[in-house]
Amino acid sequence: MVFNTAYMINFFIKILHFGRSFIFSLNNLHLKIKFYHMKKIIILSLFLCLSCQQVKTITESQEATFGIVIHGGAGTILRANMTSETEAAYRKVLAEAIQVGHSILKNGGSSQEAVEKTIHVMENSPLFNAGKGAVLTADETIELDASFMHGETLDAGAISGVKTIKHPISAAIKVMEDSPHVMLSGAGADAFAASQGLEIVEPEYFLTERRINSLKRVKEAEAKEKKISSLEKEYVSQQRYGTVGCVALDLEGNLAAGTSTGGMTNKKWNRIGDAPIIGAGTYANNATCAISATGWGEFFIRSVVAHDISALMEYKGLSIQEAAHTVIHDKVGSLGGDGGVVGIDHRGNVAMEMNTPGMYRAHMDAVGSLNVKIYKDE
């Protein structure tokens, strides 16, 4: 119920004037309620009405909170290795992507839609290790992974090892919405996506000269080294970043998180990282936060990174920034892993935490302030 303050004050003033010469008698009870008692009641009523209006205004302000955060991968991202043209290109796509999602949220769209459409922009870019820009496997093929989670219902969907789905994040959402499962993989996931009317492309669509050359260099180095395990640590540190992710809070107070990736350059044996694993690479819960992770997937799986951040908030009362710092630095870091996360909580507070030299990332709040960053010291 909405109260018109001026109308209510005028109404009560008229009652006060009328009541000055009026005494309300209840003869059967032998009680007389004098006007000063009535005046106290009226003043109290006016105070309560004004208080209700103030509470409503505060509530409306809280409901208007929304925000969005994205990442394009974390790793050894140094100014010394980045040309001004390349840096500008990354910043441009990050800005374009997050503005798509922010526009959806600003106009009352859902966090789910914002996450999906934002990730589409990055999946379409050859700059990032997702969709069009995905890295190649040891067999010179593409194997794409993605996951999505809704914070209100805790519904989730994921796909792994797909080869023909143009937008893997949309396939993950379809698994959540239109199947009784949480994760599908390989040829079955490709077939499911086709049956749902998602855009299907030839595997050659994903091949880019940049990724072909990258795989060639890695294989040449591997052949010279002979010791794969030690070499992998070196090339993984250079090649694993590029995973994309998005987290969002909408005007209804619902959180959502999504992650999409091509995995690791020269990966073998249908390797799967953390990106499609709910609780490791992606997690959302309206009671706490939405998280998308990027980095060395094996360590993020072992640390259950995304869910652990949520759990620290729920059970220990940590802020999203405190929880993200604890997990990325004290837990993942202590195991020898590296990477980062982006997150947003149910109040719109954000975290963009990493233990690497850089992470492609961006944030926009309800006001529309745009922050695009690449290096850790920004």
**Residues labelled as active-site residues:** 243
**H or E element in which residue 214 lies:** helix 209-225
> 241, 71 in Cβ contact below 8 A?
no
Of 328, 360, 79, 126, nearest to 241 by C-alpha is 360
CA distances from 62 to 84, 92, 157 (A): 40, 31, 30
Q: Which residues lie below 8 Å from residue 98, measured CB to CB, with a gap of 6+?
A: 68, 69, 70, 118, 362, 363, 364, 370, 372
**H or E element in which residue 370 lies:** strand 370-375
Of 312, 268, 263, nearest to 289 by C-alpha is 312
> Tokens 């060395």 identify what position?
296
Residue 101 buriedness (CB in 10 A; 0-12 / 13-18 / 19+): buried
The rounded distance, in Å, linking the Cα atoms of 67 and 343 is 10
